[in-house]
Amino acid sequence: MSTPTDHATDPETTTAAETGPRLRVILAEDSVLLREGLVRLLQAAGFEVVDACPDAETFLTSVREHRPDLVVVDVRMPPTFTAEGLQAALVVRAELPEVAVLVLSQYVEETYATELLAGRPRGVGYLLKDRVADTGEFIDALRTVAAGGTALDPEVVSQLMSRARHTDPLSRLTPREQDVLRLMAQGRTNSAISRELFIGEGAVEKNVSSIFSKLDLPPTEDDHRRVLAVMKWLDHGNDES
């Protein structure tokens, strides 16, 4: 287990976004190069990297000890390189629901992604490792997940939605509403969706309201309906796949 807090942070690379208490992060990544690269990237962005672990077992031990704000976990880790990281992430979600979880994967693992997102669709993300190459988007995704939002890679959203394309909830939505829901699943705001689709924010709001109505999601004070809309859609697809 490495101790990332021993790494010196270059003060010239620390971002100005660090205005309050730093978000405490624990990493789980078996690749030494990627693990150390992530440590340096997060430290430069103003995060406090509490630990960086090479396997799921040491990761879980560290998370239980330090109780960070956020964990970043590779799906495939030693010893079998199948789903150890994802299983560890699910343990964190069950034991420490206040800890945000972002999973990194080389490929879209549809079953794993659905299992991770099922149940409590808050403070969770699933990104492909290629996304880390765009450091700005990656850091934004981390902050979104840590704040209780969702961050789903566009390719993950595309594949999961394609599985649900034959279901009734999807068939109720117009092509424009499907586009809006796809961008909602990526954590986009209404203004961001407006820019992406070249439509007014008022039109976005109407589409969002229509989506909530068609997916039977009445207004509530506590639930994140934007996230629930995506999850309900995917849940229907899994029931019939």
5 SS3 class: helix
H or E stretch at 105: strand 100-105
In the chain, what are the domain boundaries?
A: 4-153, 164-240
Give 78-120 pLDDT, tens digit per residue: 888 888 898 899 899 989 999 999 999 887 777 667 777 776 6
Ranges 3-12, 43-52, 119-128, 146-155, most confident: 43-52
Question: What is the structure's pLDDT at 152?
Answer: 84
| pTM for this model (two decimals) | 0.63
- What are all long-range contacts of 16-22, with beta carbons under 8 Å and residues at least 24 apart? 17/45, 17/46, 17/143, 18/46, 22/46, 22/47, 22/48
Which of the four CATH numbers 3.40.50.2000, 3.40.50.170, 3.40.50.10890, 3.40.50.2300 does domain 4-153 have? 3.40.50.2300
pLDDT tops 70 at residue 40: yes
CB 76 within 8 A of CB 85: yes
Q: Which residues contact 130 (CB under 8 A, 6 or more apart)?
A: none
Write down the mean pLDDT value for the chain: 80
Question: What is the structure's pLDDT at 49?
Answer: 97
- CATH code of 164-240, in short, is 1.10.10.10
Question: What is the structure's pLDDT at 220?
Answer: 63
Query: Which backbone phi and psi does 45 adopt, to 5 degrees?
Result: -85, 0
Same fold, 4-153 and 164-240: no
pLDDT tops 70 at residue 32: yes
87 versus 10: which is more confidently predicted? Answer: 87
Question: What is the structure's pLDDT at 20?
Answer: 58
Give 169-193 pLDDT, tens digit per residue: 667 788 899 889 888 877 788 999 9
pLDDT tops 70 at residue 4: no
pLDDT tops 80 at residue 238: no
225 versus 191: which is more confidently predicted? Answer: 191
pLDDT tops 90 at residue 73: yes
Q: Which two tokens stand for residue 13?
A: 């690379």
pLDDT tops 70 at residue 1: no
